Structure 1
Amino acid sequence: MAAPEQRLTLQSTVEIPHSRGTILRPRIGFGVYQSPPDICKKSCLEALRCGYRAIDTAQFYENEKEVGEAVRESGILRSEVFITTKLLLPEGSVEKTLERCWRSVREIGLGYVDLFLIHTPSSGPEGRREMWLALENLLEEGGTRAIGVSNYGVKHLEEMKSYATFPPVANQIECHVLCQQRPIVEYCRKNAIQVEAYCPLVRGTLMKNPTILGIAARHSTATPSQILIRWCLQHGFIPLPKSDNPQRIRENAGAYSFELDASDMKLLDSMDLGVDGALVPQNTDCP
């Protein structure tokens, strides 16, 4: 089954490698972690109405079906929406894990997904290898257009070189002003791996931060959330803001109306706390 080429009409896209060339993907995605199925569908429909053209789900989130339903009900062409999902665990063999991947594709119900990631490196070297080989098979069979990883550290990405026919096109990691993940970001840049930033809004904990408020005040129409998203964009990351509040969904889509200057970026860069700024346990160093 050949997937059609995308015709994205967006304010900003980025090219990522594909087994048959390159494909476009939006520079901002909509996250649905911890969004219950019924609410997830409504939130996705609102996000699509606001101009989002990328949605990030996962097997672990248990809302893949609702993401697919929202895309179908939106009336937007399938080729104009970029869908990412994630494989949680190996199933004991490449064949069984491949079938688990296809189950997600069927659950979403859009024919194929655009990007399929390994969710975590925590299953160990053999589990990681099994999952990657399954994703490579899924890629060749047309179930996905690109494959990548999530929460991988440098050693996990280096390990892949011993068995990967297709290198990962993306690494989705927690990345925001308090947890800037500089070593893995630098590695990904040197190896043409796109960094996707989850928790870019630091789960709302910085909405009253004096530094963020001060920068927002200098950009009269910008909100703290937009400042944090814009910081990600100007570093070349793909931010994945998440909200189930329609007003905030619309607000988060507005990060293209201004640009941070060098002094703004320097201030935000100085907020980095390293791993101490992380909101979730980091798997980048797991065996």
Structure 2
Amino acid sequence: MDDAFFRQAEQNIIQLIHEKKYKEAYSLVKQFLERFPREKTFIKLKEQIEEAVEEENESLVNEKLKSLKPLYKEGKYEEILRELKELLILSPNSSKLQKLYQEAQIKYQNQVAVSQEKFEKKQRSRLDELLKTNETLLIEEIFLLETQNSDVPRIRKLAQEYRDKIIEKKIKEKEELIYSDKYDAIANFIEQLRKIDKDNPRIAEVENISGGKKLTNQSEQKSEYIYAGQTHLDTLMKLKKYDKVMAAAEEILKTDPDNKTAKQLLEEATQLFFAQTREESISSINKNLPDLKQEYKKDKTKFTTI
């Protein structure tokens, strides 16, 4: 490639630079560098364009920063951050812009914190009032708070706090029920609490109280049943109703398989019942034997012989 070609290419790029058509000039110089990567003329032109662009961007940045002064005075840091972000695209290596952006971020975060604090205070006052007067509306308000502020931890925490307060209040109101033996009603009450906050630890406490009392009652009822059963067995044994003793003992053993008294009485009753039925059978045969002999004499064909 002759010198005339390079000189013409150089002149074309320089002309674009003078016209401040940096994008076109930069695109053209990159094309030549792809073909002639070691050509110093194009390397220098590339650096010249980059410097010119940086200077121009810096000038634009400074002008834009001046226009942001009213926003700084009004403390509109959210808008300031948006503008600075755009400027950083133009001049990503500007330490000045980076510093301004960081400072604006801190001030914006402080503004948000103050705003959230005021909002929380206002909401807390309203929620306190609803807790006293209208729990249904309170639950609706909590739901709206959570939905509309899902990305705000302190508001989510506030909502959770008042869910807990509702549950705490309801538990106090139903304390008599919780310690009663109305287990179906308690189960229904627990289900209602879960609709407010299924993971609330107070619900588990109610379940433990109710469940423990239910087990105690069941144990007491079981003991009473077994005691009554054993008393009944003693009476039946005295009356020599061994078949009924056997049936009653088996029922007790279904409830209390290790009951020694029931096992012993079942064994005794079984032996006595066998002896009783055997004696009754022999007695019946002896009693009916004369009649059977007479009947046999009258009509032998009615009797089976082998």
Larger strand proportion, structure 1 or 2?
A: 1
- Normalised by the size of structure 2, how large is the TM-score? 0.18
Higher relative contact order (CA 8 A, sep 6+): 1
Larger helix proportion, structure 1 or 2?
A: 2
- The structure number with the bigger radius of gyration is 2
